[in-house]
């Protein structure tokens, strides 16, 4: 299990965080001795001369916080291709032809850095809960009803565990629906895991990551307090939250990524390398789209006929 660190260390480093551009540095191949140029935040490279697997031990030292845990790949390349092939023709709007799209050379595997945050939160909330009175009316007549307001006060506590925040600018926004990672399988970080896979140090602004963590917690707390407060409706909800036992660690999680062309257009998808969950863009079949338009026009015509 990865060891957690106190959040004050994170905040201190975040204060002076500047998104450094990694320098190019030289690594000597341990097998043939040739010199390889690589970006200092890249952790794994293959020797261009003898194809030996080389690990750049300095890759994570480039940032002050180094990964302590890693979720190993469970989805092989063959399995990832199969997941893609099943997904690409799913639904009635996609050509069966899509199954033939070859992605084998465009599919890349990455160990992506994520912050895992923990915190205990204790909140006190106040607000007015509202009850509609008068007989049941439909929604358009809501404004005709009286609302009886009642002041309520309450508390809500929650222990956030392993709230994952993406620490890579490259994957930011691309992986929102990739599903959770099961951290029961988290292994202590070891360079042996990254041999053969692309992996790099975190490069996203730490303050931004921390803000996202707080925003996620507060949204969750807000929803829970709203549910506790409201009868039919509510207003003036105010929440005061106290945070304690805040800790964090940096982990690497597995992701497959692919950019592929289909009929001259670029599409992209990503796969959760642990669960196999897939997310991305795919080409809609033109014949299906045409069919949909024709159906729509027919229905529209029918509608006009009825009106006349
Ligand atoms: Zn070599």
Per-residue pLDDT of the chain (308 residues; tens, 9 = 90+): 568 899 999 999 998 887 677 788 888 999 999 998 888 888 888 898 999 988 888 888 878 888 999 999 999 999 999 999 899 888 777 777 777 778 888 899 999 999 999 999 999 999 999 998 876 556 665 566 788 999 999 999 999 999 999 999 999 988 877 888 999 989 999 888 988 888 888 889 999 999 999 999 999 999 999 999 999 999 999 999 999 999 999 999 999 999 988 888 889 999 999 999 999 988 877 777 788 888 889 998 888 888 87
Distance (Å) from CA 94 to ligand 1 centroid? 45
Is residue 30 situated within a structural domain? Answer: no
What's the total number of domains in the chain? 1
CA of 54 from ligand 1 middle (Å) equals 8
What spacing in Å lies between the alpha carbon of 196 and ligand 1's midpoint?
A: 15
Distance, CA 53 to ligand 1 centroid (Å)? 8
For residue 45, the CA-to-ligand 1 centroid distance in Å is 10
Q: Per the domain annotation, does 55 fall within a domain? A: no
Evaluate whether 94 touches 285 at the Cβ level (below 8 Å): yes
User: Which of 291-299's residues contact partners 24+ apart within 8 Å by CB, and which partners?
Assistant: 292/93
Query: How far, in Å, from the CA of 193 to the mean position of ligand 1?
Result: 20
C-alpha 105 – ligand 1 centre gap (Å)? 23
Q: What span, in angstroms and rounded, lies between the C-alpha atoms of 126 and 115?
A: 32
- Alpha carbon of 51 to ligand 1 centroid (Å): 6
Task: Give me the domain span that covers residue 182.
Answer: 5-20+62-307
Distance 205 CA to ligand 1 centre (A): 35
Q: Is 41 inside any structural domain?
A: no
CA of 144 to the centre of ligand 1 (A): 80
Does residue 253 fall inside a structural domain?
A: yes
Question: What residues have a C-beta under 5 A from ligand 1, the ion?
Answer: 29, 31-32, 47, 49-50, 52
Cα(55) to centroid(ligand 1), Å: 12
> Is residue 185 situated within a structural domain?
yes
How far does residue 46's CA lie from ligand 1's centre (Å)? 8
Q: Find the 63 Cα to ligand 1 centroid distance in Å.
A: 27
Which residues in 186-199 are b (16+ Cβ under 10 Å) and which e?
beebeeebbeebbb
Q: Is residue 214 part of a domain?
A: yes
24 CA distance to ligand 1 middle (Å) = 18
- Ligand 1 centre from 177 Cα, in Å? 40
Q: Name 251's Cβ contacts closer than 8 Å, sequence gap at least 6.
A: 2, 67, 68, 69, 70, 71, 113, 114, 116, 164, 183, 186, 189
Whole-number Å distance, alpha carbon 113 to ligand 1 midpoint, is: 28
State how far the Cα of 170 lies from the Cα of 193, in Å rounded to an integer.
21
Question: How confident is the model at residue 179, as a pLDDT?
Answer: 80
Domain assignment present for residue 44? The answer is: no
Whether residue 89 lies inside any domain: the answer is yes
Task: Write down the pLDDT at residue 196.
Answer: 85
Cα of 31 vs centre of ligand 1, distance in Å, is: 5
Alpha-carbon distances, residue 103 vs 88, 259, 299, 308 (angstroms): 12, 8, 40, 53
> Contact at 8 Å (CB) between 96 and 132?
no
């Amino acid at each position: 299990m990865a060891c957690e660190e106190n959040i004050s260390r994170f905040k201190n480093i975040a204060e002076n965080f500047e998104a450094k551009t990694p320098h190019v540095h030289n690594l000597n191949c341990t097998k043939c001795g040739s010199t390889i140029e690589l970006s200092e935040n890249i952790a794994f490279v293959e020797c261009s001369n003898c194809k030996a697997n080389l690990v750049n031990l300095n890759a994570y030292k480039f940032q002050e916080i180094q990964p302590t845990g890693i979720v190993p790949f469970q989805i092989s390349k063959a399995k990832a291709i199969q997941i893609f092939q099943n997904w690409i023709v799913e639904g009635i709007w996609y050509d069966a032809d899509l199954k033939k799209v070859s992605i084998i050379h465009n599919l890349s595997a990455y160990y992506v850095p994520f912050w895992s945050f923990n915190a205990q939160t204790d909140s006190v909330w106040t607000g007015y809960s509202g009850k509609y009175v008068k007989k049941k009316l439909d929604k358009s007549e809501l404004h005709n009803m009286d609302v009886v307001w009642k002041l309520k006060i309450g508390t809500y506590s929650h222990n956030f565990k392993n709230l994952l925040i993406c620490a890579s600018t490259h994957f930011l926004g691309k992986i929102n629906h990739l599903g959770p990672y099961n951290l029961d399988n988290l292994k202590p970080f070891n360079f042996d895991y990254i041999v053969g896979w692309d992996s790099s140090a975190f490069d996203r602004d730490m303050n931004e990551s921390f803000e996202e963590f707080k925003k996620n917690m507060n949204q969750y707390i807000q929803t829970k307090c709203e549910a506790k407060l409201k009868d039919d409706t509510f207003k003036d909800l105010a929440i005061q939250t106290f945070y304690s036992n805040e800790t964090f660690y940096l982990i690497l999680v597995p992701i497959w990524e692919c950019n592929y062309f289909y009929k001259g257009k670029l599409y992209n998808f990503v796969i959760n390398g642990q669960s196999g969950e897939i997310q991305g863009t795919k080409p809609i079949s033109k014949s299906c789209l045409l069919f949909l338009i024709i159906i729509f026009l027919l229905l529209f015509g029918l509608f006009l006929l009825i009106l006349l």
